[in-house]
Every structure is written in C-alpha cells, then in structure tokens.
Structure 1
Amino acid sequence: MENLKNIWKPELYRIQMEAPTPKRVVCEDCLDRPEFYGKEYHGIMGHKEAAHLLENEPNGAFLIRKGNEINDFYTLTWRFNNRIHHYKLYYDGTHYIKDKQYDTIYDLVADGLITCHMELKAHHILEMINSRTNYTDSPYVTLNRRKLNTLSKMQQVSKPSSSSSIINKPENKLEPEPIKKAVELTPTLEDNPLVNKYSKAHGFKVHTFKGLNWCELCANFLWGFTAQGVKCEDCGFIAHSKCSERVPNHCVPDLKKLRGVFGIDLTTLLNAHSSTLPFVVRKCVNEIEARGMDSEGIYRVSGFADEIEALKLAFDRDGEAADLSAYSNINVIAGTLKLYLRLLPVPLITYEVHPKLVAAIQNKTTVLQVAMLRECLDLLPPAHFNCLQYMVQHLHRVSQYADVNKMSPHNLSTVFAPTLVATPAAITDLACEIRALQTLIECCPQIYYGNK
C-alpha cells in the first residue's frame, strides 16, 4: 500500500492558493451604470486613466469601464503581476469571456486571476499535463483495480461459455491471468481485466466542480474557479480537458455504483453524504476501540494487504453497511483506516497550516505550544478540523493503554505524522511534524476541551 502514499499531486493546488484575490476599485458617482455591474463600473474611461487608478493598488485590483460611446462591449482592467491588463467583457444574462460563463463579475475576475497565475507560475506542470500523461500510472487504475476485477468477474459470470478460467480462480487472487491485449487500446493496459470486455467511449462534458477535485488520469489538481475539467456522464470519470483526450475507450457505466469514498476530497465527500465525519473513520475507530485497544503494536503492525484491499472494496461497495466483524485481525481495520487517511488528496492538516504547525512547536514551553497549536487548528477547514479532532481524541485514548499496546504518544505520532500532516515532497525529516502531533495527542484535553 505504500506506493499509494503520494498518488495525488498537490503542486497545482498549492500554486492556486497563492493566486491574488479580486479587489474591486469602486466609483461612487457613476450615472450611467449598467444594471449588471456594480460600483466597480467607472463609465467611459480610456486605458491610460484606468491604469493610473490601479497604479498603486495591489495585484488583483480591478475595475470595469467602457472605452468609448460606440463600443458594444465593456472592458475589464486589472492589475496582475505588477502590470495593467485589459480584457473585453460581454453579458448575455451571465458574464462571459469566450466559452466561460459566470454568475457575477467577481467570479469572473477570481477565475481569471487564477488562470493567469497558473499560466505564469505553473506552466511547466501544465505543459507536462498536455504532453506526457500516462494512463497506466493514473489513480483510476491504481485505486480501482480491485473494482475493475470485481466487475470483470460479474461480466464473466453472466457469460459461462467464456468464463470458466476466471470462475475457477482462487478468490484471494488479486490479478487476472494475462489476456491478449486489444489492438486499439494503449498496450500498457494489458493487465487490466476490462480491456477486452468493453470498448465504449466516455461521455465527457465540461463540468464545474464544487470543492476540491483531482484529475483521475494525471493525478493533478483540477484548478480554476469554474469549468475546471470534464466529467463522464456514464461512469463519473473526471479529468482535465486535455487529459480526457488520452483516455482509452474504456468507459464502464456500472462502475459509478462502486466509485466509493477512498481518494475523494474530505469536504466534497462530507457534503455529498450530508455528514460531519467520514463513516470509514467512525466505523474503524469504533471497531478498534471495541476490540483493539490492548492489541500490541496497534497501528504500527501491518495487516494483510489483500484483506485491507477487500475491506476497502467493501466500504466502497456497501458504504456504512460494510461488515467489519468479518475481519478478525484488528490490524486490518487499523490498516484500512490509515489507507483512507493516506489517500485523502489534501491531508487533515493542510498545506496552508503545515508551516504554522511547525512554527508552533518551536516554542520553548508546552503552554505556548498548546496555545499556538489551538490557533493552527482554527485555520483548518471545518471538515478537516472535525475529523482531526476525532482522530486525535481517539489516539489519545489509544495512548492510555500504552503499558499494554506499547503505543505511546510518540509511537503513534511517528506512525501518523506522514499520513495526517501535509508536507512538501522535499521534506524528508518529519521530526517537527512528529513532535507537533505528539503534543496534540498528549495535550488533547487542554487543546480540545480547555482543561488545565
């Protein structure tokens, strides 16, 4: 399972977070303001005057103007990268530039600033996405191999005359027997059980995604404010528009019933389920606290990989109805919980909070550390805050049995720091992150309950 640790690539997400935010430069006394613009509209104004108004404003400052009386369009003038830029604007019930439409001018500007920032700061990543996407290495294949195998067996069972070799395989065999690859598909897909079963094109449509989403082909963030990528209407496959051009005709409509919960942004998942906590986390924690608190090496000792994969599939397939009692080895439950947390595109302690967490633990006294850690936690998105609190409280309870299970706060933090804390790839020494998580576990009552 370790090969899945860095499956999602957060670079584009981090770069987008650094993009300037819109700042409206207002005009209070404009008499001929169109009904679809607000105080950002400055009337008829030349580009030199507009540039002068924005000269001392921060990047992201903008205004709307009309170049002259005869123009049938309006002009957006903004400051970006310490330079003034001008763009044509149109309105037909919604604001739009080319094929992108927005409900408000603020949304249009926010998306435009992100687009310009990405083109400036992330051009090397965007070029790579446009030129060298490898389907075989994509999260879709890596995360869903067992699902694809299951669907393959379902198809084979429905066709007895051609399925005997698969039906007679041992149930615990993860990979299918080698098959003859389909000529029209990428040759490296020969280990995929559905290559010869389907040849159906994806029904991709441009889509505006709510929350954070990652391309299932290249694993990079779907950046932007609107129309960030495409989504297959049949199986739910999501990708950058360019990446979708490289996806083989490999759509499996039934797969949408098994898409599951692993590898989905936490906030997006909880909104979809109208929940405050992932059921995977809650069910695993409840099971561990019921029969695993005195298990020596809990969370440190690995469970069997095939059983963890089977439980992952059960969660994806059955949701909350997944039966954890069928797994007698408590390390399988613990391993599945760690896998779920490890596959979150953005870890519980986010990239934005990470440097503040490291700074907090540098304080010399525990009192100051606790105070600063509280401030760090308050910066987390609500879904991350709640789930992290639930996990830290659980790990605190696990540590109370350290005499029996040998899992002290330091041991637990050593196991969980790489999973719970978002760290840049260049950082290999997690000493500060381990110390911070250890303090969260040890001082859990003071941090979350305000106890002395």
Structure 2
Amino acid sequence: MSRNAAAGVVATLPGGGGGEPSSPVQKVWKPELYKIQLEAPAPCPMRCQRTLPLPPTKSTAEEVEQDNQAARLYGSEYHGLMGHLEAEHLLGLTGGEGSYLVRRSPMSDGFYTLSLRFNKRTRHYKLFHKPGVGHYLREQDKRFDSVYDMVADGLINFHMQLHASPIIQQINQQTKNCYQQSPYMTLNGRKLRALSNELGKTNAAAATAAAAAKDDASPKDVDVPLMPTQPLGTLKQAEQLQMMSEAVRRLPPAHYSCLQYMLEHLKRVASHYAVNKMNEHNLATVFAPTLIATPQHMTNLTEEIFMLSSLITHCKIIFA
C-alpha cells in the first residue's frame, strides 16, 4: 500500500491547488496537508532477536498450533508471549518513531496484540486476522493485506491528527468555513462572480475602443491589421506547444513514457467532465503536488498547476 493512502478522513484530504493565473479567485485547496502526510514516520518492524519460548507444558495441542501459526503469519516481528511492560521497554529502548511488534498477551483470548511506538508513547491494540479477509483491529475497521500496511495507515492517521488540525482551522477561517458547504459549488460560485466582473470590464473597454475607432477611421485605412488577433494567438500557442514538446523530450526515456501514459489517461478522464466534474485544471490541481518537483516550503502552485493543465490539454500534440 502506498504511504499516500491515509485512514478515514485523511485519505480524502486535499493535496493542493490554486486558481488560474491572474484569476481573482483565491486558492481553496492547500498543499500543506499533503506535505504533512508525507512527513509521517515510516513503519519499522522490530524483528525478534531471541528464540521464541515454548508454550507452557499445560498448553493444549490447539494452543501450540495457534502459536506456531502466529509465527508463520506475522514472521520475524512476532515476539511470542510478552507482557505490555516488556513491550514498552523494548520499543522505548531500541525502537524509534513508527517501530512496532506483534506479541501474544498473557491474558489474550483468541487475539494477538500490536504494540506501536508513536510520539514517544507505546500504544497497544488487539490484532485480528481472517483468511481471505486480512488483518484488522475491529470488525468495522478497514482490512489490510499485511501488518506493515496497517501500521503505515495508522501512522499517517496519527500524524495528521497531531499536526494538521491547526492548518485545517486556519483554512476554515480564511475561506469563511467554506468546507461546511460543498467545496465544488463554492469554487464555481467564486469563478462565476469573477467572470461576470471581468466580462463587464471587457464590454465597457470594447465599447470605448469601438467609438474611438469609428471617429478615426478613413477609407484608405486597412480594415483589419496585417496580423489579426486570432491568427496571432494561434501562432503564439503553437510556439509554446513546440517548446513544451522539446522540453519533455529531454526527459529520460522511462520518465517520458510514464509521463505520456499518465497525461493521456488524465485527458481521457477530463473528456468525461460532464459526469465526473473533473476538467484539465481540476486534475492538474490534484496531481501537481506529486508530479512536479517543488521546493519543500513552497505553497503557491499556481504556475505548476497551469503548466500541468496545459500538458493534459495538449498531450496529443506535445507527444506526437
């Protein structure tokens, strides 16, 4: 499982974004949350360095088989019979943030215990496993293929709860609690108001220019410029696309092929905008923090989002 997948609400936290260049619409999504998620400690299984003790002589054959099955299921991170005080001492003494082990508690009844180190504290959880279902802590919780994936998911969840709360509160204050409503409708409402204001300014300027041109015109004047606006814009765009095509061709072959496949896929997703509400700019807002290398403390990704949006829009021409 990728460390980018987080538990519960963490997995739905936005990665980053911004408005179009020169747009009066301010950014809604923030990349700080995604960067905090990446800073979560990585899982570090603590391997058992000792020979597992034999079960007590009074143990039944079923208990012995369960202990052997646990050793096969959890591997070297299974420490056999161990109390919580010994686990805390072992993790606190030799383990760092994210270290964990699996043990059988002396008072357990049909379950094993996951001991996990986070924020200088050791936490203990009942650990269950069902064949064909996976590992889980409670019946209603998510299932995982391995204990490592479960710990990675939990560490991201803990890290986000510890560090992301102030940023979420700050975002709510900046956007006047827009997250209590639909972020999609909030963003589009702002765009519509901004577009209406811009169209009003454009119409007023066009009317003024038309009146001035009517007074200054004479029969000998050329009716249109030698290079009208529309062909000029097309030429500029063609030049930019050619430069972008030359830039991506400088990438290593593996990067070039992977980027081409990714952009063509995103273009197909954007073609269903009427259904999924994800156009090129929205997709660029989501993927810019992961596809484009940026300085560590950079939070304004407006230019990167605009560039990635252009790559998605014109991918067939750029990779032709």
TM-score range for the pair, normalised by the shorter chain length: 0.3 to 0.5
Structure showing greater radius of gyration is 2
Which is richer in helix?
Answer: 2
Q: Which has the higher contact order (CA 8 A, sep 6+)?
A: 2
